[in-house]
Amino acid sequence: MGVFEKEAILRSAEDQASRLGRSLDYSDGSIEVLEGILELYARYFRENGPDDQKIWNQAVLYGTYLGETLLRNGLADLGYRWALTENGLPVLAKDGRNQMSPITKAEKRIQNGPEDSVKSFYDVAKVIAQGKLIPGRRTGEPGAEEESR
């Protein structure tokens, strides 16, 4: 992906949303708006045939918006920031063990539809970032009660 021009990407996402009659304001509530925008694209590609490059382009725009909204609504305060993976994919990372990919999530939402909800991703990402949910830990495992307190 090369250089990550976040501000230009965010402006493009806002402009494109505006052309669709939607407003993106980086609030928690705007994630529902984002969900609707991604559904428009999912429907378009279902009806007109998939185009991997066009899907990826939309995923970069709206996934960057998703990630930036997470940062502005708490994740930055918890130590998360944009970082590039070895292959150049922008992700939200706290350290080598804690990272998430909102761009990949947006791509999956466009490809798979509502079962890959960005709203659910957003909500779970905030809980994980706060340390309230440990990925891979099943309820009822020994020690789970102590960690949840």
Q: Which of 8-12, 28-32, 52-56, 85-89 has the weakest average pLDDT?
A: 85-89
* pLDDT, tens digit (0-9, with 9 covering 90-100), for 87-112: 999 999 998 788 999 999 999 999 99
One-character DSSP codes across 36-84: HHHHHHHHHHHHH---HHHHHHHHHHHHHHHHHHHIIIIIGGGT-EEEE
The whole-model pTM stands at 0.87
User: Is-contact 5 84, C-beta < 8 A?
Assistant: no
Please report the domains of the chain, with CATH numbers, ordered by start residue. Answer: 6-132 (1.20.120)
Residues in the chain: 149
**Radius of gyration (C-alpha) of the chain in whole angstroms:** 16
CA distance 88 to 76: 21
- Among residues 123, 122, 119, the alpha carbon closest in space to that of 39 is found at 119
Per-residue confidence band for 12, with pLDDT thresholds at 50, 70 and 90: very high
- What's the rounded mean pLDDT across residues 41-50? 95
